[in-house]
Chain A
Amino acid sequence: MSVALLSVHGLVKGYGDGAALLAIPSLELAEGACWIVTGDNGAGKSTLLRVLAGLEPARADAASFAGRPLDLANYPDDVRREIVYVHQHPYLFQRSIAANIGYGLARRGVARAEQARRIAAAIAWAGLDRVRDAPPGRLSGGEKQRVALARAWAVAPRLLLLDEPTANLDATARAQVLALLRELAEAGRTVVVACHDRELIELPHAEQWHLAEGHLGRQR
């Protein structure tokens, strides 16, 4: 039986005026699971991912990460280091691609030689060799998304949250990003991918979830 990596009960996330944007009675994400969360624009997919990443506070009756109790209103730094959230339009720091990928490694105190090794591996994994010396501002949307995936992959997070990773990409870039997502799922990484209903992302062993009117329900 799989172990719950992230468990949240009685999750409520409200708008400023008190109305509930998310009201999820129970969410149990198993270690190694791959979830695809669909929903319309404004359904709260990004908010759900940001709450799970500790970037937005929320209320919950009980929550835990890898068996440790968790306060959704105040994520501890060490839990945040286990989770990486990748934005729909990733922000690349104004530094080289290698330095972007090394950012998370440096924050984890990884030694310089090991950083260099993992940066090179991440660049190779995401197929970024051709653009590795380009300034981040000159990269296409698909290339930026691949740098962001490489940046997340390099730190080997226990939970990877991807917000509409293929939205607004052309067919080629979308295929490249999907190939990387498939690799992550096949490697047994715990991944939650939010995508629009029309996106139709298919990943190995993926569970399909749908978010509507603040409620998260499993499909099929």
Chain B
Amino acid sequence: MMLDATREAFRLLFTGDPELWGIVAVSLRVSLTALAIAAPLAVAAGYGMAVGRFAGRRALIVALQALLSFPTVVVGLVLYLVLSRRGPLGVWQLLFTPEAMIIGQVVIALPVLAAFTLAAVQGADPRIRDTALSLGAPRLRAAFTLLYETRFAIIGAVCQGFGRVISEVGCALMVGGNIAGSTRTITTAIALETSKGDFAQGIALGFVLLVLAFGVNIALALMQGRGGEP
């Protein structure tokens, strides 16, 4: 049975099965949109927490680190309650739509991206910001210079965020609902279709997920290799 399912999985992959690749497209669209929204906010927040000196900064950093282990299914539960018909945002009718999944993934990606950006900026050479400021850069420009100089760590943070949202299942299932052609993602399909006995699709999607996860990290490693030392 295992062998037949694997053979069928590769047939689905290499014959361009529209259902399977449609699921992959939904996953990529949702996760990349969520990242595009979360990344600028999180990078700005992470940078602000790293260089800013304000009351409550330490508490904010502790809270951020705690959010890293926040279960995605709980994010899904809270979002479900907020978006459900009787919830405070029920009037928007977003539950079981790709937009709801995007909101959930933005919430999941924000702390990951912000925490990794915070670590990258804190670990950056302090001479970078000083040099930029001393050469006449205003503070905002010095921030961009520092982020540019640490770009591989920042891209690494975005990759970590991508890995987290593309592979999460709890929130996508709760607020997406695994509706074929609309909110069925790689992870929700693997979780639910496999339980119905459709192993081939599960194996094929699992393979795509692994390629995506490894591919992003390999691309990052290659980029870092080309970057050289400062």
Contacts and interface: CB of A to CB of B under 8 A. Distances in A.
Interface of A: 50, 53-55, 77, 80-81, 83-87, 89-94, 103-104, 107-108, 135-137, 151-152, 155
Contacts, number: 62
A104 B230 contact: no
Contacts of B127: 87, 89-91
Contact of B135 (A107, A136, A137): A107
Nearest to A75: B133
A136 to B, nearest CB: 7
A57 to B, nearest CB: 10
Contacts of A90: 127, 131
Contacts of B145: 93
Given A87-B127, A94-B149, A53 B134 contact: yes
20 contacts: A50-B130, A55-B130, A77-B138, A77-B139, A84-B135, A84-B136, A85-B134, A86-B134, A87-B127, A90-B127, A91-B130, A92-B230, A93-B149, A93-B230, A103-B135, A104-B136, A107-B136, A135-B228, A136-B230, A155-B136
Given A91-B125, A137-B229, A137-B230, A107 B141 contact: yes
Nearest to A89: B127
B227 interface: yes
Contacts of A103: 132, 135, 137
A190 to B, nearest CB: 15
